[in-house]
């Protein structure tokens, strides 16, 4: 059985392997032992915190195969971004150059650097290892976070974003960054991606263009990838679209990948979720549900067959044990397929 739980210190080796396998462009999983250890420590601390409102907490989870004890994936939630370091995006807008006398009307696309998402929650660090990419595992690893956010709403913002990985080739070269590198930064994309991942972001404010960029001045290759995602990110984007996330014109400042957003109350998995008391028995006429317990530090989540009847969620003893719940304890659940 696959379970999802908070990351622990002895998961370092598995997280490090995920970082290696994720490749260039996966900024939240840099191949850096010091930073990965720091991420684990921050997460452990966040789960222990008695939180009143969202702050700099960072919750990192792992998916574990209980049959083998192997960690096969990870995903995370940032409670409120941009509180410690500036959180940058480009916003895609327009300016109009017009003259009635000359009968000229030219709308021009522009990119303006901004910090508009400061304070919102972010789902991030979603990575599932190749050997586990089957069945509902990917869907489970992504969607359980919506139940965790709904269950512990005071810990998170009412708005959630996800930064999607932009277009780059097998060597990590980004067409969008290539233009910025040539004119402003003089650093290749893998280097910039690494520096950002380890938290060295001061160069952004120092070297970024100070004024809006006219998109028509970019190379054709750079223009073509604005708002587009990496081929390996397309399934994740489709899932988020199905949950009600949409892009409102914000893209990453390095690879121009889209950032999508949704209000928590409008996320389909949240809308479909319910709370119920556990009844341990052999469920009949089952549905595959994502089920989470209502705990924080001792959080557990599973995707398992269960039945909702008579205000109870009927589940097997194995499922209840995986969730660390007893008869009568509360859980939150939602169908894995909506």
| Residue 76: alpha-carbon gap to chain centroid | 6
Residue 29 DSSP symbol: S
Name the catalytic one among 89, 230, 289, 312.
230
Region 10-34: mean pLDDT is 86
Query: CA 242, CA 264: separation in Å to the nearest integer?
Result: 14
Per-residue pLDDT band at 204 (split at 50, 70, 90): low
Q: What is the CATH number of domain 274-335?
A: 2.40.40.20
Global pTM reads: 0.91
Out of 87-91, 123-127, 203-207, 256-260, pick the least confident.
Answer: 203-207
Note the pLDDT tens digit of each residue in 32-60.
Answer: 888 899 999 999 999 999 999 999 999 99
CATH number of 2-89+115-269, picked from 3.40.50.300, 3.40.50.170, 3.40.190.10, 3.40.630.30: 3.40.630.30
Active site residue 230: yes
Domain boundaries defined on the chain: 2-89+115-269, 274-335
pLDDT in tens, 122-141: 999 999 999 999 999 999 99
75 with 98: CB under 8 angstroms?
no
Angle between helices 234-242 and 137-151 (to 10 degrees): 40
Residue recorded with tokens 């191949």: 31
pLDDT classification of 282: cutoffs 50, 70, 90: very high
Count of beta carbons in the 10 Å neighbourhood of residue 249? 16
Question: What's CA 13's distance to the chain center, in Å?
Answer: 21
- Close Cβ partners of 190 (under 8 Å, ≥ 6 residues apart): 24, 172
């Amino acid at each position: 059985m696959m379970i999802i739980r908070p990351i622990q210190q002895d998961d370092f080796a598995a997280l490090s392997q995920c970082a290696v396998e994720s490749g260039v462009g996966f900024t939240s999983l840099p191949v850096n032992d010091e930073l990965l250890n720091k991420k684990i420590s921050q997460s452990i601390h966040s789960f222990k915190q008695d939180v009143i409102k969202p702050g700099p907490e960072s919750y990192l989870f792992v998916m574990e195969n209980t049959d083998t004890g192997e960690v096969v994936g990870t995903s995370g939630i940032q409670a409120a971004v941009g509180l410690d370091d500036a959180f940058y995006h480009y916003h895609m807008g327009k300016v109009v150059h017009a003259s009635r006398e000359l009968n000229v009307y030219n709308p021009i696309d522009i990119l303006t650097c901004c910090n508009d998402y400061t304070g919102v929650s972010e789902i991030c660090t979603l990575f599932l290892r190749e050997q586990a990419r089957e069945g509902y595992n990917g869907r489970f690893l992504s969607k359980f976070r919506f139940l965790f956010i709904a269950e512990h709403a005071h810990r998170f913002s009412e708005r959630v974003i996800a930064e999607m990985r932009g277009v780059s080739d097998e060597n990590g070269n980004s067409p969008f960054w290539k233009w910025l590198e040539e004119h402003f930064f003089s650093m290749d994309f893998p280097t910039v991606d690494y520096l950002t991942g380890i938290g060295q972001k001061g160069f952004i404010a120092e070297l970024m263009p100070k004024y809006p960029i006219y998109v028509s001045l970019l190379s054709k290759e750079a223009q073509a990838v604005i708002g587009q995602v990496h081929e390996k990110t397309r399934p994740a984007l489709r899932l988020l679209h199905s949950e009600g996330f949409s892009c409102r014109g914000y893209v990453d400042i390095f690879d121009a990948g889209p950032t999508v957003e949704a209000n928590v109350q409008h996320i389909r998995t949240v809308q479909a979720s319910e709370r119920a008391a556990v009844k341990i028995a052999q469920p009949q006429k089952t549905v595959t549900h994502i089920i989470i317990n209502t705990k924080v530090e001792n959080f557990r989540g599973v995707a398992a067959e269960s039945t909702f009847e008579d205000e109870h969620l009927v589940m097997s003893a194995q499922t209840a044990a995986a969730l660390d719940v007893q008869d009568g304890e509360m859980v939150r659940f939602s169908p894995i397929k909506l």
